[in-house]
Amino acid sequence: MKHIVLASTSTLPGGEYLAYLQPVIQKLFEGIREIIFIPYARPGGISHDDYTARAASAFAGAGIAVKGLHTFASPVEALHQAEGFFTGGGNTFLLVKQLHEQQLMDVLKTAVEKGTPYLGASAGSNIAGINMQTTNDMPIVYPPSFVTMGLVPFNLNPHYLDPVPGLLHMGETRETRIREFHTQQEIPVIGLREGSWIEVNGNTMSLRGPLRARIFRAGEEPVEQEPGPLF
């Protein structure tokens, strides 16, 4: 039975890293002593060690130890043995490239499908979808494949932004980009606003947090989803 939380962001404006998700962390990882952190997305180019230290500090309040996947001699074996996972945000292209090149994507997918709890934030949430092609990130590297874990039957667009009334230029809006995606693929996309997350327990999926999400389906007008059960 899957136990998954996919958050739009790790940090709300003015808040500490993972602070708003602390109750979610305690529930998701209840009874777990140590989790593996996957630091490959490296926001702002932060080192794997420094990124892991940031995650460890946030999890310390819940009494959970954190070990970076990059520190294991055998990352594959580490994923097999893990009690839980957290994949942080950053650049989705870099994260996906690392997971595919080390042949870890399918190993991680299998572990989560077997019930190992998984928390993703931003890029870490993107990789739970069918593919990473609705990310907001710059393609700073070229992954061997855009296919991700497919733990949920849709793609995510974390940090979803609505147009700002009166602002003369924002470039292409998120909605425009997702509509472009749907000229090529029919995968549903959930625009996940800041402070929201998706909770998966077995086959039950729910939107959590204070805000609605925007759901896009190919050939249809987008709809607003209230917090609660999805689909």
Task: Check whether 104 has a pLDDT greater than 80.
Answer: yes
What is the structure's pLDDT at 31?
97
Domain that holds residue 57: 3-229
Active site residues: 122, 137, 159
Confidence of residue 172 (pLDDT cuts 50, 70, 90): confident
pLDDT higher at 231 or 94: 94
Separation of alpha carbons 71 and 66, rounded Å: 11
Looking at the structure of the chain, the number of domains it has is: 1
Q: Where residue 87 sits, what CATH number does that domain have?
A: 3.40.50.880
Task: Check whether 120 has a pLDDT greater than 90.
Answer: yes
The overall average pLDDT reported for the chain is: 96
The order of strands in the sheet holding 223-225 is 155-158, 189-192, 213-216, 223-225
Closest residue by Cα to residue 154 from 116, 93, 97, 198: 198
* pLDDT tens-place string over residues 26-66: 999 999 999 999 999 999 999 999 999 999 999 999 999 99
